[in-house]
Amino acid sequence: MKTDLWDAVVVGAGPAGLMSALTTAQGGLGVLLLDAQPGPGGQIWRGAAAGQKGAAGELLRAVATHPAITVLGGAEVIAAEAGGRTHTLTVTSAAGLRQIHASRIILATGATERFLPFDGWTLPGVVGAGGLQAMSKGGLDVRGRRVVVAGSGPLLLAVAAGLRHKGARVLAVAEQAGLPAVAAFGVAAARLPGKSREALALAAGLLGVPYWAGCAVVRASGQHGLQSVTLRRGRREVTLDCDYLAVGFGLVPDTRVAALLGCPLDGAGAVHVNAWQATGVSGVYAAGEVCGIGGVDGALLEGFVAGCAAGGQIERLHDAPRRAGLQRRFQATLERSFALRPAQLPTPSPRTIVCRCEDVRHGELRGFTDWTAAKLQTRCGMGACQGRVCGPATETLYGWHFGGVRAPLLPLPLAQLLDEPTTLSPP
Ligand SMILES: Cc1cc2nc3c(=O)[nH]c(=O)nc-3n(C[C@H](O)[C@H](O)[C@H](O)COP(=O)(O)OP(=O)(O)OC[C@H]3O[C@@H](n4cnc5c(N)ncnc54)[C@H](O)[C@@H]3O)c2cc1C
């Protein structure tokens, strides 16, 4: 098989990936930037156009017009292998399977939402908070729809404001963290440049929407689809009739490709990096929320640092490590403030489905002591999502370590597996 070597491949075209691709290319390297989504932008800039005003439009335009950057959308890394000098990624796309080789890889795979099971969570109308946001950015008409936003983290506010902007009726934002913790986060955020303006804009967008801190999701109810959600505030239960429950309990770094490459993780389950965003595997860097949840500004900064390091332009860093230090402190406050509190989390009943791909229920799982034993005996995590949804849930529910990452990361058509992978050459 012919092998083609790229100078650098960036996996993930969100803010971190876009910035690192641009910075690496400015160092004179040829860069392949690939993403599973059809277009670049990642979660926060999904659907943004290169021509539009603001930071997203500028960065997208700079990447799209840089002659040393090739952007490949609809291309998902499903296997990865670290070599001595050259690493190999296997990528699936409409064109079939491809093998891509590079001496430098920057992982910017972002994060996914953490879902926790409760009675009724599989009803149509119960969706991830960021997921509903993404669907509305993608064209779902939410005008006049009654939405309850629940779970934990500042993303709930961004989602609520975004949905309201699109015409939804947001009935309440229910946050599991207590009010003092949320207030501490607000103070820390206000100290970061630009954040107080962002917070004011969010507050203006949510004027009149009740924000209930210390509030737990109890159940979602409905016959064939969601009709109401019951929340617990203190000792009182409140039931709200609604069309959507947008729910998510924070974000989980998407470390699957990093795990296949053998990159060590830190204690919080994010990719461990040094001050130059280098992972424990030579030639592999990581940036953005795959290294810890910290928002778009941190993702851009880390993308810049990773691009400077991968492209050999350390002199461009100036005070970036100092700013990255500030971001990391903000990240730590975020983590502390929205730490999940068992008493405020949904309590599944024995019949609640935990693994929805394989229909495995809480009652079948709670007797096991670890992920592997549960998986072998119940098929939990062996369905289409390969544990991407139920893995983090079982960590929170049962304290297991979810270590089930194996290639291929998603089910593939047999025809693709039977074909000899083609290679993708630099221009
Ligand atoms: C569902 C969701 C919705 C969000 N919505 C908002 C919002 O509305 N407002 C807000 O302020 N913040 C939002 N956030 C948080 C926001 O994503 C971060 O603040 C920031 O954008 C992180 O940037 P990033 O570049 O690290 O990752 P992301 O923007 O998440 O980009 C990661 C990219 O990597 C790609 N990827 C992952 N794995 C692979 C693979 N194996 N192969 C190829 N590509 C891969 C993904 O498709 C994705 O495009 C959201 C997060 C999530 C998870």
Per-residue pLDDT of the chain in tens (427 residues, 90 and over written 9): 334 689 999 999 999 999 999 999 999 999 999 999 999 999 999 877 777 888 899 999 999 999 999 999 999 999 999 998 899 999 998 888 889 999 999 999 999 999 999 999 999 999 999 999 999 988 999 999 999 999 999 999 999 999 999 999 999 999 999 999 999 888 888 877 777 777 788 888 899 999 999 999 999 999 999 999 999 999 999 999 999 999 999 999 999 999 999 999 998 899 999 989 999 999 999 999 999 998 898 999 999 999 999 999 988 988 887 888 888 888 888 999 999 999 999 999 999 999 999 999 999 999 999 999 999 999 999 998 889 999 999 999 999 988 778 888 988 888 887 776 666 666 6
The pLDDT, as a whole number, for residue 1 is 33
The conformation of residue 115, written as its DSSP 8-state character, comes to: -
Specify the residue with its C-alpha closest to ligand 1, atom 51.
Answer: 43
Q: Which of 11, 20, 43 to mutate to test the pocket of ligand 1 (most atoms within 8 A of CB)?
A: 43
The pLDDT, as a whole number, for residue 422 is 64
User: Using an 8 Å Cβ cutoff, are 108 and 290 in contact?
Assistant: yes
Cβ of 43 closer than 6 Å to ligand 1, yes or no, is: yes
Could you write out the DSSP letters of every residue in 271-317? Answer: BP--TT-B-SSTTEEE-GGGG---HHHHHHHHHHHHHHHHTT-GGG-
Instruction: Please list the residues that pair with 119 across neighbouring strands.
Output: 219
The pLDDT, as a whole number, for residue 3 is 47
* CA 365 to ligand 1 centroid distance, Å: 30
For 163, 202, 207, 312, the CA distances from 172, given in Å and listed in that order, are 12, 15, 11, 49
User: Using an 8 Å Cβ cutoff, are 33 and 63 in contact?
Assistant: yes
Q: Is 222 exposed, middle or buried (0-12, 13-18, 19+ CB in 10 A)?
A: middle
The pLDDT, as a whole number, for residue 2 is 36
Cβ of 155 closer than 6 Å to ligand 1, yes or no, is: yes
The pLDDT, as a whole number, for residue 21 is 98
Q: For residue 269, which of 184, 362, 391, 356 has the smallest C-alpha distance?
A: 391
Cis bond upstream, residue 392 (ω within 30) = no
Q: For residue 383, which of 357, 365, 405 has the smallest C-alpha distance?
A: 357
Q: Which of 19, 44, 277 to mutate to test the pocket of ligand 1 (most atoms within 8 A of CB)?
A: 44
Residues 6 or more apart from 421 whose CB is under 8 A from it?
1, 90, 96, 97, 98, 99
The number of beta carbons lying within 10 Å of the beta carbon of residue 191 is: 12
Q: For residue 29, which of 108, 105, 107 has the smallest C-alpha distance?
A: 105
Distance CA 91, CA 73 (A): 11
User: Using an 8 Å Cβ cutoff, are 33 and 13 in contact?
Assistant: yes
* CA 113 to ligand 1 centroid distance, Å: 10
The pLDDT, as a whole number, for residue 427 is 65
Specify the residue with its C-alpha closest to ligand 1, atom 39.
Answer: 109
Instruction: Please list the residues that pair with 77 across neighbouring strands.
Output: 91
State the pairing for strand pair 244-249/126-128. Answer: parallel
The pLDDT, as a whole number, for residue 200 is 80
Tokens linked to 52: 């539009």
User: Using an 8 Å Cβ cutoff, are 136 and 142 in contact?
Assistant: yes
Specify the residue with its C-alpha closest to ligand 1, atom 37.
Answer: 109
The pLDDT, as a whole number, for residue 79 is 95
